[in-house]
A and B are shown apart, each in its own frame.
Chain A
Amino acid sequence: QKEVEQNSGPLSVPEGAIASLNCTYSDRGSQSFFWYRQYSGKSPELIMFIYSNGDKEDGRFTAQLNKASQYVSLLIRDSQPSDSATYLCARSYGNNRLAFGKGNQVVVIP
């Protein structure tokens, strides 16, 4: 089993709607998580970082971490066409070593 799983296929959402992305992980070691956004041909850009159980909000983005159920999610409220990108979930093992999921493509339809 991979360390970090992002199983959902491409997600299409209408402009202004909420996009919901999920990520599960396989063991209960170091539990810091990152969400990165990656536009085609560009490098990953850090959106959210969470290590405490519960919710963390930053602007239109909310990350949720549930350690008991071993998942982390990202909500994008009021989705904009500029949010169209691939979203990568990553788990930190400390020492600046990240394990990434394969990513979820989000398409926001105007």
Chain B
Amino acid sequence: KAGVTQTPRYLIKTRGQQVTLSCSPISGHRSVSWYQQTPGQGLQFLFEYFSETQRNKGNFPGRFSGRQFSNSRSEMNVSTLELGDSALYLCASSNGQVNTEAFFGQGTRLTVV
């Protein structure tokens, strides 16, 4: 059974650009959550999608957005990149029900220069 797949693994972008990251969840999982991890703030929740609908949103500016497709694959987009957006972006796959496990992908390391 394949795990959670995130692409690309590494990205270098320039300030002001935009970026799109992709996450394919475990087969059969319908929930994808996105997190940002930085040394100073740790792991912070961005948003969660279930069956193509955003169910939860964290405290991030509107430059951060996402979507989910009918096959449960999800993308997140960051527009007008800032240096502070440099981080490890992780997605977590779950069946979306209460009291069930969440499994992380390998992450995308984004560097903004």
Query: Could you list which residues of chain A lie within 8 angstroms of chain B, going by C-beta atoms?
Result: 30, 32, 34, 36, 42-46, 49, 51, 88, 90, 92-103
Contact = CB atoms under 8 A, between A and B. Distances in A.
Point out which of A43, A45, A46 has the most chain B C-beta atoms below 10 A from its C-beta.
Answer: A43
Q: How large is the interface on B (under 10, 10 to 19, 20 to 34, 35 or more residues)?
A: 20 to 34
Point out which of A34, A46, A98 has the most chain B C-beta atoms below 10 A from its C-beta.
Answer: A98
B52 to A, nearest CB: 14
Contacts of A49: 101
Given A43-B106, A102-B42, A95 B48 contact: yes
B36 to A, nearest CB: 11
Given A43-B104, A45-B104, A49-B101, A96 B90 contact: no
Contacts of A96: 31-33, 48, 50, 56, 92, 94, 96, 102
B43 interface: yes
Interface of B: 31-33, 35, 42-45, 48, 50, 55-56, 88, 90, 92, 94, 96, 98-99, 101-107
A34 B101 CA distance: 8
Nearest to A94: B98
A94 B94 CA distance: 11
B112 to A, nearest CB: 19
